[in-house]
Amino acid sequence: MADRPHIAIVDYRMGNLRSVQKAVEHVGGTADMVSTPDGINAADKLILPGVGAFGDGMRFLNELGLSDPIRVFAQSGRPMLGICLGMQLLFDGSQEDAPSPDQPVPGLGILPGKIVRFQSDRGGQRLKVPQMGWNALRWDRPDPLLDGLEQGSAVYFVHSYYAEPTDDTVTSARADYGGDFCASIHRDNLFATQFHPEKSQRVGMKILSNFVGL
């Protein structure tokens, strides 16, 4: 039997790594934690997870020397998956931790766009921020991670901020929270979810299984 692809999960001190690893193993993948440039470079597939603040995430990636290796990996053609904060870090910058909305905290700059905060009165509705709980996905274009799922499949979100891509064609699925927002992205070898597949039960396991099978 051929060796299974080596999936690396980036450990940059930003939470929920073990739950992602266990979920990948549950669907038949093998995954190791990596926290060095060499660990990223050697991977066949890469997962950038994360829970917490954007500014801390970028600070730790930079301190560990991981930002440039992640950028190089994203351009390599090898499959890469960002989850929650890991999705947000792929963009140019974020309002979170920023001194002002027009001075965003710089991100990895792999995808053009910005991360913005849900407004409590978004869409004329009174919203609880953060959004915490299950929400339905909708999509109108193919995304290999969504193969085999039904429209309206529910996944689990915990977030106060969301992505506004400059190029909206990278948005592969949307959800509604006082209006549409970007719930997942797909561009070439790059995938990302604002929701947590590792907490999304059957639907999340199918998404991770699709990633393992790429």
- Span 141-154, pLDDT tens digits: 999 999 999 999 99
pLDDT at 16: 76
Backbone dihedral region for residue 170 (phi beyond 0: left; psi -120 to 50: alpha; all else: beta): alpha
Phi, psi dihedrals of residue 149, rounded to the nearest 5°: -100, 155
Assess if residue 2 is contained within a domain: no
Q: Are strands 161-165 and 45-48 parallel, antiparallel or unpaired?
A: unpaired
Instruction: Please identify which of the residues 96, 159, 186, 198 carries the catalytic annotation.
Output: 198
Q: Please report, for the domain that includes residue 106, its CATH number.
A: 3.40.50.880
Token digits for 29?
A: 């993948």
Q: How many domains does the chain have?
A: 1
Assess if residue 15 is contained within a domain: yes
Instruction: Please identify which of the residues 84, 159, 182, 186 carries the catalytic annotation.
Output: 84
Q: Are strands 80-83 and 45-48 parallel, antiparallel or unpaired?
A: parallel
Token digits for 182?
A: 């970007």
Token digits for 57?
A: 């995430």
pLDDT at 3: 67
pLDDT at 1: 37
Neighbours of 31 (CB within 10 A): 22
Q: What is the largest CA-CA distance in the chain?
A: 57
pLDDT at 70: 98
Q: Are strands 111-117 and 161-165 parallel, antiparallel or unpaired?
A: antiparallel
Residue 198 among the catalytic residues: yes
pLDDT at 201: 98
Assess if residue 47 is contained within a domain: yes
Phi, psi dihedrals of residue 121, rounded to the nearest 5°: -115, 30
Q: Are 10 and 195 in contact (CB under 8 A)?
A: no
Instruction: Please identify which of the residues 96, 182, 186, 196 carries the catalytic annotation.
Output: 196
Assess if residue 114 is contained within a domain: yes
- What residues in the chain have per-residue pLDDT under 50? 1-2
Residue 63 among the catalytic residues: no
Residue 110: domain span: 7-212
pLDDT digits (tens, 9 = 90+) for 98-154: 988 789 999 999 999 999 999 988 878 889 999 999 999 999 999 999 999 999 999
pLDDT at 102: 84
* Among the listed residues 141, 117, 136, the one whose alpha carbon sits nearest the alpha carbon of residue 175: 136
